[in-house]
Amino acid sequence: MDGAPRVAADAWEEELVATGPDPAPTVSQHRRRRFDVRVVPHRRRSPLRLQDWRMRTKLATVLVIPSVAFLVLAGVQTQSLVGRATILADFAAQVGIGQEVAQLVHRLQQERDRTAGELFSLRAARNEAASAKVLATLQPYRDASDEAAQALRRAAEPLAEENASWEDTFSVAFQAYQQVDYMRNVMATVVLSNDTILGNYHRAVDALLTLLAQPSPGADRPELSDAVLRYVQFARAKELSSRVRAELYTAARTREYADEDRAQLNDLRSRQLTALGTFRIAATRAQVARYDQMSQDPTFIEAARMEERALTQNPTALTVLPAEDWWTASEARHELLRVFETEVLADSAGEADEASETQLRETLLVVGVIITVLLVAVLISVLIGRSLARSIRLLRSQALRIAQIELPEALARLRSVSGGVPHIDVSPAVVRSLDEIGELAEAFVAVHRSAVGVAVEQANMRRNVNAMFVNLARRSQVLVERQLELLDDLEREESDPDQLENLFKLDHLAARMRRNDESLLVLAGTESTRRWNRPIGLGAVLLAASAEIEQYQRVRHEAVADLYLVGHAVGELVHLLAELLENATAFSRPDTIVQVMARADGSGATIEVADQGLGMSPTALAEANAVLAKPPAADVATVERMGLFVVSHLAARHGIEVRLHGGAGGLVARVRLPGSLLAVAPPPSLDPPPSPRVLPGSVARPDRPVDPGPVDLPVAGRRPTTVPRQAQPVPVRAEDVLAPAGTPADPGGGWWSREGPTSAVSTTGAGMPAPPAVPVTAGTNERGLPVRVPMAQLSAVTQSARPEQQQPARHDPDPEAVGGMLSRLYSGVRRAEAEETREIPVSPPGVWSEGGRR
């Protein structure tokens, strides 16, 4: 039956040795090790293997890859549409700013044409007053140009920040205008030629016209390109008309033409006609009709007639026109051209805005459709993936909850049970679907149910084993108690010192057997039956623990604080300290001592047991402290280290912290008692103290001088005697050390158990003993003086201080007879309980049970 698992385990060990431990264990391996499940280690997860991916990653991949592909294609299309919309938006903005550009060109044309006529008067001025008068004539035109330039600058700043190429063209045009402004300031002081002055104006106007032609809608929008061509060509024709006007106005002011004026005027006029022809070709019918209507205006006709007369009336020479008449007629025609130019620009700007808005609406519509389709696809995918992911997540959560919470808690409940095996509910499957995931969830539940069934069977088996432990321990306890009673009787009747010493050894062996029986009860999860109903001093508890071990002579109580412990925990605390003292004496040389110290520590107390033995290695010390910190379950290894197991479980029951520390040449066991185990000192008893029972061999302690006096130490109310029967002190056990000072009838004293109260201190009669006739001493000291016996005369002063009252005569029974009878009665009850017990007694609620759990 065990062959296959053993072969698998051996193979796993060989593989582990050959390959070495996994340097990066996975989370599943960590959880398996956490619950002590030995599983063959798998290979490390690789992100390059598709089968190693998490289910969420796989579902996300199935959803993301098509979505990303769709987004890439949609993004390309959207980018193209957004690019077109951006281009058209920039185009519309540039066309819209053409009004400001055309206004500045118009103002510069007026200033240039007027300046060309006034240059003759400026040079003919003989003083500054005459020059100032000429400049004053030009100043309104300059102010108008500056105002138009400022308007253009304000409108161009936002557009220049968005379009780099348009910003460069604008910078060139504005630098040309700044050059014109510089020329104005030096015109009156520096001698400049007409060509230089007018050339600056020509360059500024040409740069502005280039800026006006800068907008480009792209090759796929020819209708918008024609709109730009219309107003650009008309602006050029208007510029050529303005330059013809300037030449004629200059000749009219100087009363003559230069030699090259005819050729230049003919060239300008031919270029003007070409620009107008290009405009008429690109213009719409409405614009052509509007231009024809404008050309029929009387002022336009008058200016055209005067221009024709100057250029063609005299074949051999040009005709000089009247200066003022020509300027007035040409200015009126120029204003008509400006109005028409504004209309053409407005039509082009309207077309550009409409195209931009149309493109923007189309882009938004396409983007909206793309987003809608993507959202619908993602929503459908998410709904399907969410259904799968939810089922997988619920299944994973249930599996982890079963593995980490429900199953460990069920095992812990079954491991710590001390009565009947409780019913363990197995939660149903959380996935109710009929697909493969639902079937897998049902399989998990079936595995959980099988594991709980196996754990219940093990709990029943452990319960039966614990019942056997309890029955055997109870039977052994009854026998040991009877053995101790018999030894007490034999010790009282024995007078031979050698035989009495042997009886003492048997008495201590029986006490150790009783402690082993109590250890078996701790192993079975049952509490100790030795309990006290009154607080006990810490010194008495330590003395009782020393009385429970064999080599009690080596224990030295160095410094013990005056503290008291609650009675219900005294028995198990005596057991715990006895195990530590036994360990300290067993693993140290016989010629060394074991020091016990106890001190108050905050709200609690600290007890230290220090030996000078072999000590422990750091690894063994860490393992032992781990066992003491967390009590393990009972197994074969527990029986081999029974003392450590018992100490850990007893400490866990009462919240006691036990730690082992390496000392100087030995080991130090530090026991930290919580404040809940400490109690206030009980009220002092008014009854006479019982006869002290000295630990065997305690008179031979090296730190106490031994007086070679009588063999028997004197007791209160009794003279020292040399009867051989008292040559050896009576053996002491925990219940003897912890017995209260009162009589059996004392309502505040005593320790109780299922066997009943211990034997009380007997008295010689119903009344108080008479005071001794002679003083009681304990021999003489080194100087020959008598040694006083404390409390020797106590019987003479223990009468009540209250007024004497006549008490009725009482016939009390013999205390020894009553104690013996009760002892035999409770012993019989204990034997009957041990023989008839079939169930493990259940611990009352709130009491520590096996494993240190409530």
The pLDDT of residue 593 is 92
Distance CA 719, CA 793 (A): 11
Q: Return the axis-axis angle of helices 497-523 and 436-493, rounded to nearest 10°.
A: 170
Is the pLDDT at 29 greater than 60? The verdict is: no
The pLDDT of residue 8 is 36
Is the pLDDT at 632 greater than 90? The verdict is: no
**DSSP secondary structure, 266-309, as one string:** HHHHHHHHHHHHHHHHHS-HHHHHHHHHHHTSHHHHHHHHHHHH
Coil, helix or strand for 259? Answer: coil
| pLDDT tens sequence across 376-387 | 888 888 888 778
**DSSP secondary structure, 346-391, as one string:** HHHHHHHHHHHHHHHHHHHHHHHHHHHHHHHHHHHHHHHHHHHHHH
Q: Return the axis-axis angle of helices 570-586 and 642-654, rounded to nearest 10°.
A: 150
| pLDDT tens sequence across 286-314 | 989 999 999 999 999 999 999 888 887 66
Coil, helix or strand for 264? Answer: helix
The pLDDT of residue 309 is 87
The pLDDT of residue 596 is 93
Confidence of residue 457 (pLDDT cuts 50, 70, 90): confident
The string over 766-779, giving b where at least 16 C-beta atoms fall within 10 Å of a residue's C-beta and e elsewhere, is eeebeebeeebbbe
Tell me phi and psi for residue 729, to 5 degrees: -70, 160
| pLDDT tens sequence across 766-825 | 344 444 545 555 566 565 566 555 544 443 333 333 444 444 444 555 555 555 566 667
Greater confidence (818 vs 408) lies with: 408
- In angstroms, how far is CA 184 from the centroid of its own chain? 75
The pLDDT of residue 417 is 60
Distance CA 528, CA 827 (A): 16
Handedness of CA 469, 474, 477, 479 (dihedral sign): negative
| pLDDT tens sequence across 694-750 | 444 333 333 333 333 333 323 222 333 333 334 344 445 556 666 654 434 333 334
Phi-psi region of 852 (alpha: psi -120 to 50; beta: other; left: phi over 0): left
| pLDDT tens sequence across 272-283 | 999 999 989 988
Rounded to the nearest integer, the mean pLDDT of the chain is 75
Distance CA 267, CA 583 (A): 128
Task: Return the number of other C-beta atoms located less than 10 Å from residue 680's C-beta.
Answer: 8
Which stretch of 370-384, 666-680, 818-832 has the lowest confidence by average pLDDT?
A: 818-832
Distance CA 354, CA 348 (A): 10
Distance CA 331, CA 320 (A): 18
Distance CA 698, CA 551 (A): 11
List beta partners, residue 604.
601
Distance CA 737, CA 236 (A): 129
Which stretch of 121-130, 244-253, 629-638, 773-782 has the lowest confidence by average pLDDT?
A: 773-782
Q: Mean of the pLDDT values across residues 221-231? A: 86
Is the pLDDT at 413 greater than 50? The verdict is: yes
Going by C-beta distance under 8 Å and a sequence separation of 6 or more, which residues neighbour residue 48?
none
- Could you tell me if 686 and 797 are in contact, meaning their C-beta atoms sit under 8 angstroms apart? no
Is the pLDDT at 324 greater than 60? The verdict is: yes
Copy the structure tokens of residue 228: 């730009």
Confidence of residue 520 (pLDDT cuts 50, 70, 90): confident
Count of residues making up the chain: 854
The pLDDT of residue 645 is 85
Q: Mean of the pLDDT values across residues 48-66? A: 74
Q: Highest mean pLDDT range out of 338-352, 437-451, 632-646?
A: 338-352
The pLDDT of residue 298 is 92
Q: Mean of the pLDDT values across residues 192-207? A: 88
The CA-atom distances, in angstroms, between 286 and each of 234, 289, 555, 614 are: 15, 5, 127, 120
Q: Mean of the pLDDT values across residues 224-253? A: 89
Greater confidence (827 vs 837) lies with: 827
Is the pLDDT at 52 greater than 80? The verdict is: no
The pLDDT of residue 121 is 82
Is the pLDDT at 147 greater than 90? The verdict is: yes
Give the CATH number of domain 530-683+732-750: 3.30.565.10
Copy the structure tokens of residue 333: 């025609």
Every domain of the chain and the residues it spans: 1-42, 80-371, 456-528+753-757+815-842, 530-683+732-750
Confidence of residue 672 (pLDDT cuts 50, 70, 90): very high
Q: Which amino acid is at 591?
A: D
Task: Return the number of other C-beta atoms located less than 10 Å from residue 38's C-beta.
Answer: 11
The pLDDT of residue 685 is 56
Q: Mean of the pLDDT values across residues 597-619? A: 89
- HSE, side-chain direction, 13 A CA sphere, residue 205: 26
* pTM confidence score: 0.45
Q: What percent of the chain stands above pLDDT 70?
A: 71
